[in-house]
Amino acid sequence: MKRFFLLLLGLSLLAGCAKQPVIANINPRLFDQPAGVYTPGTRVAVLGGDTRKSPDVVVFANDQPPTRLANVSPIADLLSARLGTALRDQGMTIDPSSPVRLSFAIDELLVQVTRQSLLYRADAVSHLTVKVENRGTTVTRVFKRDAYKESATRPKLDDLEEMLNGQLADILAMILKDGEIRQLLAVK
């Protein structure tokens, strides 16, 4: 019996030493895009930027000190690649020297986890500003998504990543379907 308790104590000590994740993996997926949205030869430059003060995408605020997780790769580069691929699938040619520019800025992208009495609360916010410029005409759009989840246990990183992935996928889909953005991109 004594050995059993010692074994149980040893296992609980090892479990307490388990490492917390140190990096997040935000990687939104888009559905297949319709072909033929843009006429062949239509070109665009896709430029992304990140105006956030911190690269963190997940913060466990009640940890001492707070646990902060950045993404495995720069979010702006990832979203630029996703938008470029989707626009290419729709018939656009991606050309960095094009006078037609689709640029975006990541204003906010964060899941903050707090513990209030018995519940953990995960608040997720995604906020992008998109600007399309074509020969002197400019359209600016702001896309924002937010959500929260509550649970009795500390949320798993996979669940928090999925919150942001879903929000970013929704925002990218809205950008790709926006009629005014499409119209300005298509002007030759």
Measured between alpha carbons, how far is 32 from 113 in angstroms, rounded to an integer? 32
- The Cβ of residue 180 has, within 10 Å, a number of other Cβ atoms equal to 10
Q: Is the pLDDT of residue 10 over 70?
A: no
pLDDT recorded at residue 22: 80
pLDDT recorded at residue 188: 80
Per-residue pLDDT of 92-151, as tens digits, reads 999 999 999 999 999 999 999 999 889 999 999 999 999 999 999 999 999 999 999 999
19 vs 184, residue with greater confidence: 184
Give yes or no for a contact between 86 and 37, defined as CB atoms under 8 angstroms apart. no
> In this structure, what token pair is assigned to residue 129?
């500003």
Q: Is the pLDDT of residue 164 over 60?
A: yes
What pTM value is reported for the model?
Answer: 0.87
What's the chain look like in SS3? CHHHHHHHHHHHHHHHCCCCCCEECCCCCCCCCCCCCCCCCCEEEEEEEECCCCCEEEEECCCCCCEEEEECCCHHHHHHHHHHHHHHHCCCEECCCCCEEEEEEEEEEEEEEEEECCEEEEEEEEEEEEEEEECCEEEEEEEEEEEEEEECCCCCHHHHHHHHHHHHHHHHHHHHHCHHHHHHHHCC
Q: Is the pLDDT of residue 185 over 70?
A: yes
Overall CATH class of domain 24-186: alpha beta
pLDDT recorded at residue 59: 97
Burial class (CB in 10 A: 0-12, 13-18, 19+), 122: buried
pLDDT recorded at residue 21: 65
Per-residue pLDDT of 20-77, as tens digits, reads 668 999 999 999 999 999 999 999 999 999 999 999 999 999 999 999 999 999 999 9
pLDDT recorded at residue 3: 55
Give me the residues paired with residue 117 across strands. none
Where does the pLDDT of residue 15 fall: very low under 50, low under 70, confident under 90, or very high at 90 and above? very low
> In this structure, what token pair is assigned to residue 91?
């018939």
